Structure formats: structure tokens, C-alpha cells
Amino acid sequence: MACGLAIAALCAGCGPATRQAPAPVAARPLLPVESAPQGTPKAPTPPGAAGMAPRLPPPYRDARDWDDYRQQAARRLVAINHAASYDGPVPEPLLAIPVLEIELNGDGSVRRIHVMRKPTQALDTVQLAIAAVQRAAPFGSVTHLPRPWKFTETFLFDEQRRFKPRTLDL
């Protein structure tokens, strides 16, 4: 009999009995979602960028010549990619030394990157260098400088795959 009462109690809400209207809910404005839904994969974090905000590079100023422009660009590379770069003396031996030719648009954005030298080992450092350049771009206007609007940078990678632009080591 207890079993029959339990079934009756469960079925009581299933019939065509009168239902009460739900209480009105105050309208709330929709807020933007700040995080991705749980099933969505997040983009990978660039090397050295996890949990650290990049230091802001110094403000742009018109470079006097291409040597001055390369100095500014190298400082910006290190400032934007500070966790993926190192300062101080260059360690010996170096892991890899890729060389990139960076062609620019007039506004300093990257037009094309040409790999001039691939290292014989640690080939992934080429992609690390290219990604560092793309993160640091744009580098500032080059319209006042003579054409072609391009410069070369040599990346000195240590064993931890951190780089130092050779321009800053001269």
C-alpha cells in the first residue's frame, strides 16, 4: 500500500490539473560572456606569455636612419616578448641562430618575412623568431626612410629557447 501511495504522489503532478503560472522574473540585461564555453578549446599561449603582461615598449619616434630603426625594432621585440627573451651576455654555445629579413609596409606593419638562415639544429626556433616579430609588429612608420623598407635581424637563442636580437648585442 505504501508503494501505491508513492506512485500516486509521483503521478500527481503529471495530470491535467490546473497549473499555476510561474512567478514573473525581473528582466535582467544580458552581460557579455567573459570566458569561452567549457567545450571550446582555448588558443595556445605563446611561449613565455603565460601569466605575465608584456612591458610596454618605449613610444615611437622617427628613426634617423635604418640603423636607428633596427635598434628601436630590437628593443620593441624584447619589450613585447620579454618572457621569451634574455638580457645580458650571450651564452656559449648558442642553441640556434636564425636570421630573418623583415619587409615592412609604410606604417611599420610586417609585409613579409624571409628566412635568410635556418639553423642546422632546433629548427623550431625559426618559428619562434617569426612569431616574436609578428607579436611585436607594427614597428613604427618607415615612410621617411629610403626604400626598400626592410631590415635584417639575427636571433641568438639560448638553451631555454629564449632569444636576444643581435642588434642589441653590438
Q: 66: Cβ–Cβ under 8 A, 6 or more apart, which residues?
A: 145, 146, 151
Does residue 102 form part of some domain? yes
Polymer length in residues for the chain = 170
Q: 162: Cβ–Cβ under 8 A, 6 or more apart, which residues?
A: 48, 84, 85, 86
Q: Find the mean pLDDT for residues 152-156.
A: 98
pLDDT digits (tens, 9 = 90+) for 86-137: 999 999 999 999 999 999 999 999 999 999 999 999 999 999 999 999 999 9
The residue among 23 and 160 whose pLDDT is bigger is 160
**pLDDT score recorded for residue 51:** 45
Lowest mean pLDDT among 18-22, 68-72, 154-158: 18-22
Q: Nearest Cα to 152, choosing from 89, 100, 84?
A: 100
Can you give the residue range of the structural domain that contains 134? 66-169
Does residue 127 form part of some domain? yes
Does residue 3 form part of some domain? no
For the entire predicted model, the pTM comes to 0.67
Lowest mean pLDDT among 37-41, 71-75, 161-165: 37-41
Residue with cell 613565455: 48
Does residue 41 form part of some domain? no
**pLDDT score recorded for residue 62:** 84
Counting the structural domains of the chain, the total is 1
Does residue 113 form part of some domain? yes
Does residue 92 form part of some domain? yes
pLDDT digits (tens, 9 = 90+) for 48-94: 444 444 555 555 678 899 999 999 999 999 999 999 999 999 999 99
CATH number, position 150: 3.30.1150
